[in-house]
Structure 1
């Protein structure tokens, strides 16, 4: 499908990816890290910075378009967007660029994420600023952090469907095993055992230390162009086959108090749109990069995106299903739990690596990859193909 023909299915491709090192503490500021990741992605694509005319970012990004454009030497920008809702915006940045390029609003788009979450201030320590929001009804009673909200969902899920901590461990283990194959991962060469998991300290019951993502400094970026131009770029193109965003009816925070069923979160609505506009089904997906700020989100997403039935997410993880060679290999770079937590953008880049055939935990013959953004918040997703 040519750019400008009205749809985005396979009309655009990711042709460059870049990233900085990941660490608990990096010396550079966020703008410097952003520039390094963006310039690395452009170099990967073989595209000069002056050709960039579109940008997309998402919330809690301190580097704005003006700063990035001047520092990197971009040309005139004809499209720029910023997606809300934390980690729920990661995949949407690529979707916005795909739509802009496919409709002729731009020709070379860059999406990026730069964070100093490891060494910077913790965003959830000052709860007073949240009190004018609907959080006024929960924060004063101790529901302070995202982990506390997801712990409530996890407890409800375990009660309703019989999921166990072993199912959550299966998620943490799969991510850690893949990180142990990835020299860029923070948890590289740091194996995880069941005993370590079961005896680790609680963060918010029933979630322990290893159910929580890392806190990381680092930046990543990717470059989106038309499918026609992608054929002439330096690297193998990875096509944006389908994309979706979702803010479902009566949504509220990560716990969805106002919904009849809080366990069917934004992933369900995103999935309906994603598959509706795709030629593929969940059975055609070879590998998935599922947002893993907390292990229970993977179980909920497995159900929401149609890999198993309602309440079957825990059982789906059994028998090494999420490992390389399993039914659905997930988070093959280590994910937010064990590679780096950069609000999910590393999952986008890892999806590209899989379809290029360059992942450190390569799934043989992978030709379709699902990438998801944060579940529990208004979310987004991508279906990439080679």
Structure 2
């Protein structure tokens, strides 16, 4: 009876039936192994490992239990990840590096240590007294609590950001650019970081993610800039459309996103976004996936802040594009993944102003290469974005008023 419930994926009934069998015969390796499979599907991987280990000690060749145990142990082993990128845009050059360590204690409890740094070079100051170079470091500890029986994950986070002012001035006030080694360990400011993330997956089609964070507004973390704190909340809802019995929707999805940020300078920033992904092609051999993408985004803020952080004024953006990805096995343990995204569209600012409305065209290109070797993944990516203002044409600044280029590398 337990096998029937297992095939029908009625997991709670299967657990109850296999436990009844083991109450009569505690060494029934069939019931122990199948109960381990139920635990694995249910998300209780630590208990599944215990069951597979018991079966292995009794009969190492039973129903590929050795392979099941090894695959599960590798999947939930402690892990290190590294990520870095260089970003250049119209005003700054930023070098970002990040390292994280994840320790899975059991099916419910784990913790993650994260350390990241941003070295920011401002070559076109937007605010008075902007420095030439500064370093922002961030250290945080998060504790994911996986309540798999409710399909819920709650992750509190605490940490701090550290600001280093990596420049000096002579008596005339000119920037000398001399940086000593000790400057990297001298903190001019320390700011707290607090946060919470909640993930809920009530069924195979719906995914909810909500976050709250309290921190200093990231763009205001610079010497001589005012201290502006941020309270922000986000809600992300992804709906898989595969429940619609039509080939077009088998690999299609909707994503709804909202963000509200309240700053201590009394400004309120809001963002609303709707994304749609329509699957056009999904091949297995070779593994190729092609999607059409569409996005509508609206942003606004109560106050117009031009110096210390970005505050959009009644911005409406609409874009469309393609997303192409492929997966190519090289041999039993190695594989290559490729992805490419291209999107373009138009957006407008100052929608309520009859005289100051600005119209732009935005273009985005992004490509990624991933190399998989066993359980490890190596990633190399590049992304380019630019905007062209076509109305009004009479403003003094260039019509190509923004661009950005990102080169990224990662390992996990």
Work out whether the TM-score is over 0.5. no
Structure with greater helix percent = 1
TM-score class, shorter:
under 0.3
TM-score, normalization: structure 1?
0.23
